[in-house]
Amino acid sequence: MIYDLIVIGGGPAGYLGAERAGHAGLKTLLIEERSLGGVCLNEGCIPSKTLLHSAKIYDYARFGEKYGVTAKDVVLDHRTVIARKNKVVKTLVAGIRSQLKANHVHVMEGHAYIAGRSSDGYTVRVNDDTFIGRRLLIATGSVPIIPPIPGVKEGLERGYVLTNREILDIPQVPGSLVIVGGGIIGLEMASYFNSAGSKVTIIEMLDHIGGNIDREISQILLKNYQKKGIEFKLNSKVVEICDGAVVYECDGRREAVEADKVLMSVGRKPAVQDIGLENIGVEIERGAVKTDDRGKTNVPEVYAAGDVNGRYMLAHTAYREAEVCVNNMLGKRDIVRYHAIPSVIYTNPEVASVGETEESARQKGIEFEVAKVSMRYSGRYVAENEGGDGICKVLINKKYRNVIGVHMIGNYSSEIIYGAGLMIEAEMRVKDIKELVFPHPTVSEVIRECIFQFED
């Protein structure tokens, strides 16, 4: 059977690319090995959000006194939380399935393997069937990095060490949880399990948490977490995982922290193995499929989108990359711009950012100005966040006076940040944004307050 397009991988890049291609009239086959929706939907973004929402409700109930609300005998039933998570995932996966169907995409379950190239196109084997695709979209995503630390492999095998996949399904809240890696996944899981009652310790190699987020915001987040009782071991390197404890090195000293469970969240790597990329000569660079800004690989009509290209590893980046790939397949020139991709950590408080940080701007040699205001400039924030210490920080290009970065910590940031992304994409200047009306009272007004710190 010959398809116009074979999509390998049914995550955000794969299913959206297939939908768009099918909608445009390309005869499209989507092959997914595990479950439609990929990591994002099944073991990432969406399930973690359902857990975090339960934790938030629980926290509101427990700590409502300062708002004049007291509740007794508040219980977080982890089993119910997980059951609800599964229901949410099921609903959304079904939604994707029907969307694909509506766009006439054929969906196959199984492991796709690119066998080679013929005059008709690329041969892809799934289970015992063979299909030919005139074009390929590689959207195989990423897998967790499992560092070669003694005890990790064994720990994974007996269920003591978990990845993002397993931890979302553990039946009980562990008494103590050690999280290796203070990035987005680690921080979100720390937030839930801390609320759910675990004693959580985060071990991070760097001197700060949250990866590339603004350092000041990283500090504020750290303090908020510490206040909740989460422990941090920064500048610390895990050297061994024993039975019941994680051993790490800090300042040359070996220390150990007890753990009922260990979450391994040191990062993810593109899934480029065992799919036959080598059979058609797709170039791999630093473990990722190398693509240009149109999503093209070095092989004609072979595109790649999402985590597999090793660029940003965010579901919304994958969406856009897949759309760009399909547009280029259809002859519409389109490119992915990476400078205004928002990123959010759904902790409590939420962290959201888009564009350059002070650190990255300095590194790139961009001349910029920065302004910062407290979230307490927003009436709604004050009303809803007793003792909140959030901030909003805006960076502008000194020469053109347009916004190049916005960083926020405080709830609702996640829903506000897209507006900031729009400002960056549209290269709006300070004086342009000053003309915009923000709804009052909302937290989004802090952006306006921040903008008015700048001269035109």
Partner 1 sequence: MATPVIMPRQGQTVESCIITKWHKKKGEAVKVGDLLFSYETDKAAFDEEAKVEGTLLEVFFDEGDDVPVLATVCVIGQEGEDISEFMPDGKDASTAKDVAAGGQQQSAAESGSEMEVEGGDAAQEDGRVRISPRARNLAERAGVDYREATPTGPNGRIIERDIRQLIEKGQLVTLAARDEYIGAEGMRIGGTGIGGRVTTADLDSTKRDAHYEVPQPPVQEVKAGEADYEEVKLSNIRKVIARAMHQSLANTAQLTIHTSFDATEILAFRKKVKEQGERLGLANITLNDIILYVVSRTLLNHKALNAHFLDDKMLLFNHVHLGVAVDTERGLMVPTIYNADTKSLDEISREAKELVEACRKGSINPDYLKGGTFTVTNLGSLGVEAFTPILNPPQTGILGVDTIVQRIKEVDGKLVTYPSMGLSLTFDHRAVDGAPAARFLQELKANLENFSIFLAK
- Contact positions vs partner 1 (CB under 8 A): 335, 337, 339, 397, 399-402, 425-429, 432
Nearer to partner 1, 255 or 293 (CB): 293
Establish whether the linkage from the previous residue to 349 is cis, with ω within 30° of 0: yes
Three-state DSSP state, 97: helix
Nearer to partner 1, 221 or 420 (CB): 420
Could you give the CA distance from residue 7 to residue 106 in angstroms, rounded to a whole number? 10
Shortest gap between Cβ of 403 and partner 1 (angstroms)?
9
AA identity, residue 377: Y
Shortest gap between Cβ of 331 and partner 1 (angstroms)?
15
Shortest gap between Cβ of 428 and partner 1 (angstroms)?
6
Shortest gap between Cβ of 73 and partner 1 (angstroms)?
52
Shortest gap between Cβ of 418 and partner 1 (angstroms)?
13
DSSP conformation class of 438 = -
Nearer to partner 1, 69 or 426 (CB): 426
**Which positions are annotated as active-site residues?**
440
Could you give the CA distance from residue 362 to residue 359 in angstroms, rounded to a whole number? 5
Nearer to partner 1, 307 or 323 (CB): 323
Nearer to partner 1, 67 or 400 (CB): 400
Question: Would strands 2-8 and 28-32 be described as parallel, antiparallel, or unpaired?
Answer: parallel
Nearer to partner 1, 254 or 339 (CB): 339
Distances (CA, A) of 280 to 122, 124, 206, 243, 276: 8, 11, 39, 45, 7
Shortest gap between Cβ of 396 and partner 1 (angstroms)?
9
197 with 342: CB under 8 angstroms? no
AA identity, residue 379: G
Could you give the CA distance from residue 17 to residue 70 in angstroms, rounded to a whole number? 49
Tell me which residue of 15, 14, 265 sits closest to 140, measured CA to CA: 14
Could you give the CA distance from residue 22 to residue 136 in angstroms, rounded to a whole number? 14
Helices 215-227 and 184-196 sit at what angle, rounded to 10 degrees? Answer: 20
Helices 78-102 and 45-62 sit at what angle, rounded to 10 degrees? Answer: 140
